[in-house]
Structures are given as C-alpha cells and as structure tokens.
C-alpha cells in the first residue's frame, strides 16, 4: 500500500507514476488509482446520515457510492474516448494519440487522488452541517476542486503536445466539452450518490433513464412561464 501511495504522490508531482516497466503496467496502475481512490471518496460521500450525523450512515449506500464514483469517471472517460479518437484522426494527430490518452487517463487518476484527500473534510462537513442540500453542495464543491486540480495537471501534460502542434489545443478544448457533456448525463443516470436518510436505499433511482438536459430545460421553462 505504501508503494501505491508513493506512486500516487509521483503522479501529482510529475504527471506520471514512476515505473520501470512498459506503458501497459503504467496504464494499469492509473486505472488502479482511479478505482481505489475513487471508491475511497465514494464511501465517504455515501456515509451521509442526516440529522443523526455519521451515526446514521448506511453501509449499503456507502458501498453503492464507492462503486459509482469510479464507475462515473471510467464510464465517462470510455464513452468520450471514441469521439476524441475520431476528432484526433480528422485533425491528423494520430501519431500523438498514445501520449494524449495517457495524459487524459493520468488526469482522471489525479482527480480521484484529490477527491480522496478531501474525504476527511466531507466527513467533517457531514458532522457539522446535517442538511441534505448542504451535503449535496459540499460534494459538488469537492468535485469542482478535484476537477480543477485535474485540469492543472492536464494542461501541464498537454504542454509538450501543444508545443509540437498547436492543433492539440483545439483537441484539448473539444475533449473538455465532450467530457463535461457526457459526465453530466452519466452523473444523472447514476443517482443517488448520497441518498436521503429515511428513504429506501437503492443503487439507481426509478427514473434512471431520464435526461439531465431535458430536466434542466423543463425547469427553466417552468420558471420563465410563471
């Protein structure tokens, strides 16, 4: 475990986990970091117990959330990758595809590392502020901070690619748009991550296959027509 933590620190410091092996083990290590640290934050996220604090934590909800956080990130990454590959090919950047994908995967690992580091603050927040809305907002803030940290690393890793060909800057921006678009809908499908105490614990909601963008558009329309 200590070796894995050292690899994680090296990822944050240099952008790549130290490895004496080929790229395949390095990719497996990145995937391992995403799963382990994503699950760690998911367990903390799902420990919300409402008015009774952490004493009301539901083990099943913690288990579900520990599965869903890495699933959210990996599924979003996987679904966004084909579009990225097509655009990469259209821009004539296929030679740099391997380095670019490794940079994107390292960013996912960095995001989960920062999330896991924020887990103690999430638990402290649950103890201090027990409202459901407050819990939701704090977790949204944690994901925003982790995403921002990931963007810092991604831009650092992409700098040599952009220096080699400025079209990589366009590709990077398109990736961020695609990833955000897919990620919002994926997060919507995988609800609930926190769960409301006193209600049945479910892996997915009954209206799982609804559309986040249709829901938001409907709410905006309702507000405009009041």
Reduce the secondary structure of 46-88 to three states and give it as a string. Answer: CCCCHHHHHHHCCHHHHHHHHHHHHHHHHHHHHHHHHHHHHHH
Q: Examine the pLDDT at 34 and tell me if it is beyond 90.
A: yes
Query: Distance from CA of residue 188 to its chain's centroid?
Result: 13
- Looking at residue 55, its pLDDT comes to 58
Between these two residues, 88 and 223, which has the higher pLDDT value? Answer: 88
Task: Please say whether the beta carbons of 31 and 53 come within 8 A.
Answer: no
Task: Please say whether the beta carbons of 192 and 205 come within 8 A.
Answer: yes
Residues above pLDDT 90, as percent of the chain: 63
Distances (CA, A) of 119 to 63, 72, 116, 201, 209: 15, 17, 5, 21, 29
Between these two residues, 144 and 10, which has the higher pLDDT value? Answer: 144
- Looking at residue 54, its pLDDT comes to 66
Mean residue pLDDT across the chain: 88
Between these two residues, 199 and 72, which has the higher pLDDT value? Answer: 72
Task: Please say whether the beta carbons of 99 and 171 come within 8 A.
Answer: no
Q: How far apart are CA 122 and CA 138, in angstroms?
A: 7
Average pLDDT over residues 151-159: 93
DSSP string, 134-202: HHHHHHHHHHHHHHHHHHHHHHHHHHHHHHH-THHHHHHHHHHHHHHHHHHHHHHHT--SS--TTS---
pLDDT confidence bin for 108, thresholds 50/70/90: very high
Tokens of 119: 């887990």
Q: Examine the pLDDT at 18 and tell me if it is beyond 60.
A: no
User: Quick one: which of 66, 41, 68 has its CA closest to 145?
Assistant: 41
Q: Examine the pLDDT at 16 and tell me if it is beyond 80.
A: no
Q: How far apart are CA 17 and CA 108, in angstroms?
A: 13
Q: Examine the pLDDT at 210 and tell me if it is beyond 90.
A: no
Q: Which range, 1-5, 171-175, 192-196, is most confident?
A: 171-175
**Burial of 167 per CB tally in 10 Å (0-12, 13-18, 19+):** middle
Query: What is the number of residues in the chain?
Result: 226
Residue 14: its H or E element: helix 2-14
CB count in 10 Å sphere of residue 129: 12
Tokens of 150: 């990931």
- Looking at residue 180, its pLDDT comes to 95
- Looking at residue 22, its pLDDT comes to 55
The DSSP call for residue 132 is: H
Nearest 5°: the CA angle 203, 213, 129 is: 55
- Looking at residue 52, its pLDDT comes to 65
């Amino acid at each position: 475990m200590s070796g894995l933590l050292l690899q994680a620190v090296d990822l944050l410091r240099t952008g790549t986990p130290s490895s004496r092996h080929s790229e395949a083990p390095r990719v497996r290590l990145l995937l391992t970091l995403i799963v382990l640290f994503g699950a760690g934050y998911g367990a903390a996220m799902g420990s919300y117990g409402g008015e009774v604090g952490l004493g009301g934590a539901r083990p099943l909800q913690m288990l579900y959330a520990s599965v869903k956080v890495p699933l959210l990130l990996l599924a979003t990454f996987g679904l966004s990758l084909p579009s990225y590959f097509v655009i990469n090919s259209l821009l004539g950047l296929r030679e740099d595809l391997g380095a670019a994908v490794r940079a994107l995967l390292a960013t996912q690992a960095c995001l989960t590392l920062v999330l896991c580091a924020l887990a103690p603050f999430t638990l402290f927040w649950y103890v201090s502020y027990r409202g459901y809305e407050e819990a939701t907002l704090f977790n949204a803030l944690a994901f925003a901070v982790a995403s921002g940290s990931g963007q810092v690393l991604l831009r650092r890793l992409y700098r040599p690619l952009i220096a080699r060909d400025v079209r990589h800057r366009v590709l990077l921006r398109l990736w961020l748009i695609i990833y955000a678009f897919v990620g919002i809908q994926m997060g919507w499908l995988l609800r609930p991550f926190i769960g409301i105490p006193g209600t049945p614990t479910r892996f997915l909601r009954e209206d799982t296959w609804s559309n986040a963008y249709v829901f938001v558009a409907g709410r905006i329309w309702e507000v405009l027509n009041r």
